[in-house]
Chain A
């Protein structure tokens, strides 16, 4: 168990972060090179002002027409993404681990809040799961990989919650938590989770075309 812990909390963390950051940079750079080569228009018409204008309307809940059309989805997806990003980054337990390793630290949220956000993320995953099952237009588009991704995202939160609350086998869950977190991080650049990387670009490009060329709104 000690060796396993040392492995998952040591070298594997490095591996996960290297894959995540390296992979993300690779995806973004290779996409940029491809765009330069074959989609010159993306650079020609990209306009930061209009890109940001569009992005802002989409990262603020209810700021776009479609967010207003789907209030539940909007609430859940924003809560989910906030929980998904804020919880791991501002979790005290994570920060102290980083402090121990690299002697850097930042503001940590109260554990109670982290608990709530974790439940929000897990509940959102359940919501997304049910949505994929229940709404015909979503079900039609859903493939197995979408469920796998959902599980990959939910797993670190479930296991984290589990081990934090010290339910049975919490040591094992602790290992599983670290492992699943690393897997999730590592797959971001190479799965649908890469929408995290490409959102600003695809949205920004559409915003640029709409704002800069078409002189119309795109939200």
Chain B
């Protein structure tokens, strides 16, 4: 019954995992696992492992399971069985080969999207268990190469993309210049102490998607927001360390981010359309540091756009002319309930919103989040194969007229692009900010 799963697994080779496994010995594995289980896991882990009655009801919650013709090895509990149950049962006496498999499962067969927590009658948090497995893999030095490199970038530069301190500032100055062509008095205020808003983004924005910083600057300026961005590390809210179980570094990153905002004496942090970063600042990193909730309110772009729209700070100049569908990212919908706000803004700026099904909290994952897309090219096809169901869901929306997907999350964006391309769906993918930028009134803009 696991044949199909086995077959898929053998296709992928990751040097980070392979080389890491080479250096393992059964003794090291046993010692590390027991150390983690003893010192870092507690009641939640125990209750989740012991309470599961093996009913299989979580299965339908998982897009990997649905996409692999209901292969039980891809069900949430099925993945826990192949990882956590086994190490608990054997008290850590597992082989390096087992760790290799477990690593691949935990890192590339679960997006930590927590949809299954809404399918398990007991609310067992499989994402937590998978993260625990990832933590063990990290402590064993067995981590997929690409995401591991990203974590190293975080550790060295406090951002995800090895962006150096000057490159960050330079790209902001450059975007400010560019945007001044359109809106002459536009500013990207750097290091403005006492501003209302600290705007933070993820590493890939200055590196690959500078246009998003440009758009955000335009929206901020049009809305008359009192905002700033830091000229120091701490500007990046993203966090791959969280996803490899490198909690110590997650804490350092979030400290750097929050302290940059605290140093600038802002009232709140507004962040771009990123999902995992929101999770990191909202209920993961802050907790590791001892902050029960973020010390400074963190407003995700969806909520911010909604605020600007309802307060009349941005106005609709024209409606987006294509029918759109709205993809609910796990980390800001299941993670923060922003689905209605996102829809209200979408409806305001578009003529037609065609719902995909399921939607809102029930939406199917993009298969890119949870660090999976960050595991890089070796696992690209695994992501695409693992989300055939998403292609079907999108195709269904397309068949009812939707031609543009609004995906207000970077990872969703990347994941959906691959899916749309591979399955030949022929749909556009946009950030909500793209649509707002395109369709809003820009009073100060120069003609052209």
Contacts and interface: CB of A to CB of B under 8 A. Distances in A.
B183 interface: no
Interface in B106-120: 117-119
Interface string B20-48: 00000000000000000000111110111
Contacts of B334: 210, 214, 216
Contacts of A198: 47, 50-51, 122
Nearest to A136: B72
B16 interface: no
Contacts of B47: 31, 198, 201-202
B441 to A, nearest CB: 31
A180 interface: no
A195 B70 contact: no
B78 A137 contact: yes
Interface string A160-200: 00000000000000000000000000000000101100110
Interface stretch (A64-72, A89-97, A99-107): A64-72
Interface in B1-22: 1-2
Interface string B47-73: 110111111110111000100001111
A146 interface: yes
Contacts of B57: 66, 70, 73
Interface stretch (A4-12, A38-46, A117-125): A38-46
Contact of B122 (A142, A195, A213, A215): A195
Interface string B74-102: 01011001000000000000000000000
A151 B188 CA distance: 69
A66 B123 contact: no
B336 interface: yes
Given A65-B362, A66-B118, A135-B56, A34 B46 contact: yes
A202 B78 contact: no
B51 A218 contact: no
Interface string A114-140: 000000000000000000000111111
Contact of A38 (B41, B70, B81): B41
Contact of B43 (A31, A207, A216): A31
B337 A214 contact: yes
A23 to B, nearest CB: 13
A26 to B, nearest CB: 14
Given A39-B43, A66-B61, A216 B70 contact: no
Contacts of A35: 42-44
B361 A216 contact: yes
Contacts of B71: 136
Nearest to A36: B43
Contacts of A38: 40-43
A54 interface: yes
Interface in B307-345: 333-337, 339
Contacts of A213: 282-283, 293
A202 B48 contact: yes
Q: Which of B55, B61, B70, B72 has the largest count of A CB atoms less than 10 A from its CB?
A: B55
B57 to A, nearest CB: 6
A199 B34 CA distance: 27
B70 A136 contact: yes
Interface in A16-52: 31-32, 34-35, 37-39, 41-42, 44
A41 to B, nearest CB: 6
Given A65-B362, A66-B119, A214-B337, A137 B70 contact: yes
Q: Which 10 A-B pairs have the closest CB atoms?
A: A206-B123, A38-B42, A140-B72, A35-B43, A215-B337, A138-B56, A141-B54, A216-B337, A137-B72, A39-B42
23 contacts: A31-B43, A31-B47, A35-B44, A38-B43, A42-B43, A136-B1, A137-B65, A140-B56, A140-B78, A141-B55, A141-B78, A146-B54, A195-B122, A199-B122, A203-B123, A210-B334, A213-B293, A214-B334, A215-B336, A216-B334, A218-B118, A218-B361, A219-B118
Interface of A: 31-32, 34-35, 37-39, 41-42, 44, 54, 58, 64-66, 69-70, 73, 135-143, 146, 192, 194-195, 198-199, 201-207, 209-210, 213-219
Interface of B: 1-2, 40-44, 46-48, 50-57, 59-61, 65, 70-73, 75, 77-78, 81, 117-119, 121-125, 282-283, 287, 292-293, 333-337, 339, 358, 361-362
